[in-house]
Amino acid sequence: MRLTRALTFASALVASAVGLSLPTQAEESHITVLLDWFVNPDHGPLIVAEELGYFKEVGLDVELVAPADPNDPPKLVAAGKAEIAIGYQPQLHVQVAEGLPLVRFGTLVATPLNSLVALKDGPIKDLKDLKGKKVGYSVGGFEDALLGAMLTSEGLSLDDVELVNVNFSLSPAVISGQVDAVIGAFRNFELNQMDIAGHPGVAFYPEEHGVPVYDELIFITATDMRDDPRLAAFLAAVEKGTHYIVNHPQKSWDIFRGHSPDLDDELNKRAWFATIPRFDMTPAALDSGRYARFAEFLKTQGLIKETLPVSSYAIAVGQE
């Protein structure tokens, strides 16, 4: 992103709305944002904010970086190698419990995307039908806990299913019959991927089967950066990008697919429109109760030993 040469009246309004002083050209700041994965529709508000110059308007030169290893961004941010990373609320609780100095300061996707997916015309019509069946997964730990809680809500347990590690080949594993269902499938991607392949899927949602609602994708930074004024500026631009997407879904899709030729395909197009309702319209806001409830869930599932004060790992910038 090139540096802006003049602040417009629109930038003054954005800065005023979040209580920021307007930076001069010399004060414009470069920040690195580590993505959770390669660029995809989940990152829509950032791409739109970049392409429409919203980051420049608040004096930021933002570099978006896709990680070589999706496990690295939180560690790199904690080590001061980047200012911001996109992470997952469930993982944040575990990472903080392990001692990483991280704090959530904003939300990108405000609803769970994770789901359990099976073939629509297959034998799994209800979670109870999973008894004695094979369930594929990609990453152990949280996905096991998620599946376990869902099964418990229907009177089953993990002992009633056979877990199969299918790595990241979720949709192919279901379509080929290697497994009867998969946990960890993102409802905005895998369902569309299966439909495009001619094998429609059916999803079972964790929040409808005993799992507390949580934020899927969040913005995290190092604890010692929690008072950095650039965080509020960054979220102001992201919020503006989000509202543009909601107000102009087709135009914003055209902007997104124009960002890179690799993004212009049927799967990304379907995922784009499926993801729009899930973006957080007020990314700086924090529901402390949601975080406290989910921490208790993770403790019950044995993924963390104790719950910490929410304020120690999640903040609403500008409202502390």
- pLDDT per residue over 166-184, tens digit each? 988 999 999 999 999 999 9
Q: In a 3-state reduction of DSSP, which class is residue 104?
A: strand
- pLDDT per residue over 208-234, tens digit each? 999 999 999 999 999 999 999 999 999
Structural tokens at position 281: 């319209």
Mean pLDDT of the chain: 91
Residue 320: pLDDT band (50, 70, 90) is low
- Percent of the chain with pLDDT strictly greater than 70: 91
Tell me which residue of 104, 34, 38 sits closest to 76, measured CA to CA. 34
DSSP per-residue string spanning 119-130: ETTSS-SSGGGG
Q: Is the pLDDT of residue 12 over 60?
A: no
Structural tokens at position 315: 């903040």
- pLDDT per residue over 252-262, tens digit each? 999 999 999 99
Report which of residues 54 and 140 the model is more confident about: 54
Structural tokens at position 186: 């993102």
Q: CB atoms < 10 A from the CB of 98, how many?
A: 9
CA distance 178 to 109: 31
CA distance 217 to 50: 19
Q: Is the pLDDT of residue 239 over 60?
A: yes
Given this model, what pLDDT does residue 7 score?
A: 29
Q: CB atoms < 10 A from the CB of 320, how many?
A: 8
Given this model, what pLDDT does residue 11 score?
A: 37
